[in-house]
Amino acid sequence: MKEIIFTSEAPNAVGPYSQAVKAGNTLYLSGQLGLVPETGKMVEGGVAEQAAQALKNMAAVLKSQGATVDNVVKTTVFLADIADFQAFNAEYAKVFTKDFPARSCFAVKQLPLGGLVEIECVAVL
């Protein structure tokens, strides 16, 4: 059994996918961009601002299921430019401060809507 997860506290999906899917006690979050939920537009600024917003969006989806970033066991990060790794990492370290989840980080050619960073995760509830 799977349950489709949606919260108005995070941006709507920009394609045919769900914000998250819950299967048993595992929550699979789709990639979050730096979109402002109220406007659907990319937050102003660079990779740091987009990372902070993407992490805020991720936290909103987690919160909708009674979870926090402490429930996250794995993240996957996509950067439009690997040169932005340090700026991204500084924002990530503000959110994940202990008992860090496993993580992969990749540079990709492009991200949806011209995003500079996208973050997906898996959490255990």
Judge whether 1 and 23 are in contact, CB under 8 Å: yes
Alpha-helical (H) ranges within 7-120 are 47-63, 85-95
- Of the residues 14, 21, 95, 105, only one is catalytic, namely 105
d(CA 4, CA 38): 21
Is 105 annotated as catalytic?
yes
Instruction: For residue 105, report the phi and psi dihedrals to the nearest 5 degrees.
Output: -140, 130
d(CA 14, CA 12): 6
Active site residues: 105
